[in-house]
Amino acid sequence: MAKDKVKPRILTGFMELLPEDQILFNKIYDTIREVYESFGFLPLDTPVIELSEVLLAKAGGETEKQIYRFSKGDNDLALRFDLTVPLARYVAQHSGQLTFPFKRYQMSKVYRGERPQKGRFREFYQCDIDIIGNGELDIAYDAEMPAVIYNVFRKLNFGKFTIRLNNRKVLNGFFESLGLENKVADILRTIDKLDKIGKENVIEELEKLEVGKKEIENIIEFISIEGSTYEKINALRKLNIENEKFNEGVDELEKVSNYMRAFDIDDDYFEIDLTIARGLDYYTGTVYETVLDDYRSLGSVCSGGRYDNLAEYYTNSKLPGIGISIGLTRLFSQLKDAGIIKAERSSLADCLVVPMGIDMSYTLKAAKAVRDAGFVTDVYYADKGMKHKMKYADKLGIPFVAVLGEDEVKTNTAALKNMATGKQISVSIEDIGNEIKKQMGE
């Protein structure tokens, strides 16, 4: 590097990919988008920069510390740190022009200036769907969310996964029935860690929270409920807890489970997990997590839940909703590190057209024929030797090369080479597309 040059580099905590990985990333992104759209979710694209006053109406604590915040002119600005706050602002701002229930997806970058660590990013994609009701929102939508998750992850094909389901009313009602309503948040945080720290440590932490011995027993009995979805629901009913919220929650759990079956979600792919609370304090009903069975250490790859009031900081309208989010940048990075996904090719091109000292018009006639047949077509124009051009195709992993020399011009053909098999045949240029189709099918 010469002294007068600036070293080309990016900031730590920012993901930037080489083309082969970007192709893979986009394939996943496009699959998620396709499934979101197939369920009728509408696209949204909010600004990255908003007024701090608006974006931080609710925030505080950790979130506020992580925010990218700065001034420009007289404005106090911030970069969005999630897609939920902008959604709340959007719905409050445009409620008169929207049709409810309002189903939207947004798959965009968000910004958090966290201390960077493995698997944590300062700029990352969130792929969110939410359904917002005006005043009310039917419980059936609580089952549509996992149906979307199910279709997304079946299509992404990362292996077997499990959607874990719970209901905050069950949790809150249960702790109320034990007279522990003042410690709910702390207890939830503790039992949420069961998977990570084990039962013994949970008991120890509950003792530290000054939960009584009998109540700890009840809690452990509660989170130890085993069995199928319906066995768990029956076991919850058999606890005979006389708390309205609890019983409402159990009813909802049962309904959502029934609906999920009606959505054709395989029983093997979901389960009730009474330890799930989700950290965020605004969930009020159904909550979800999703784990890849063979890679549980990745944690939840898709989470969310039901909230009572999306936009209370901006409007008096009651806007209940339900939503889920996939943290795609982190997921991509984890899946790649774990070897679950890997780049397959460094190019989108199906065919490289390679002219060898011939007229441009013949070259482009051939390229157009292949492109018009629906194949992504690249052309190597530079006047280089055959070896050089083949190396380009090889490095980019382009599966077919159509070589055009003087003989081919005379006979209106191309020498079509299959790079995987090495087989080369002569085809008329109108037939290159068909031949590629045929060989791809083989």
How many residues lie near a copy of itself (CB under 8 A)? 103
Non-local (6+) Cβ contacts of 142 within 8 A are 252, 255, 256, 259, 285, 286, 306, 322
The nearest distance, CB 365 to a copy of itself, in angstroms, is: 8
CA gap 100, 112 in Å, rounded: 31
**By CB under 8 A, is residue 358 in contact with a copy of itself?**
no
| DSSP category for residue 135 | S
Stretch that binds a copy of itself, among 203-211, 336-344, 388-396, 422-430 (CB under 8 A): 388-396
The nearest distance, CB 298 to a copy of itself, in angstroms, is: 22
DSSP-derived secondary structure for 376-401:
-EEE--S---HHHHHHHHHHHT-SEE
Taking CB under 8 A as the criterion, which residues in 113-142 touch a copy of itself?
A: 113, 122-123, 133, 136-138, 140-141
Taking CB under 8 A as the criterion, which residues in 328-347 touch a copy of itself?
A: 346-347
Among 185, 360, 420, 440, binds a copy of itself (CB under 8 A): 360
Tell me how many degrees the CA angle 300-304-309 measures, rounded to the nearest 5: 160
| DSSP category for residue 117 | -
The nearest distance, CB 174 to a copy of itself, in angstroms, is: 27
Taking CB under 8 A as the criterion, which residues in 72-111 touch a copy of itself?
A: 72-73, 75, 77, 79, 88-90, 92-94, 97-99, 101, 103-104, 109, 111
Among 185, 197, 280, 376, binds a copy of itself (CB under 8 A): 376
| DSSP category for residue 356 | S
Stretch that binds a copy of itself, among 238-246, 294-302, 310-318, 424-432 (CB under 8 A): 310-318
Taking CB under 8 A as the criterion, which residues in 45-64 touch a copy of itself?
A: 45-51, 53-54, 57
CA gap 98, 432 in Å, rounded: 49
**By CB under 8 A, is residue 412 in contact with a copy of itself?**
no
Q: What is the dihedral of CA 432, 435, 440, 442, to 10 degrees?
A: -170
**By CB under 8 A, is residue 392 in contact with a copy of itself?**
yes
**By CB under 8 A, is residue 365 in contact with a copy of itself?**
yes
Taking CB under 8 A as the criterion, which residues in 235-274 touch a copy of itself?
A: 258-259, 261-264
What's the start-to-end Cα distance of the chain, in Å?
Answer: 49
8 A C-beta contact, residue 107 and residue 127: yes
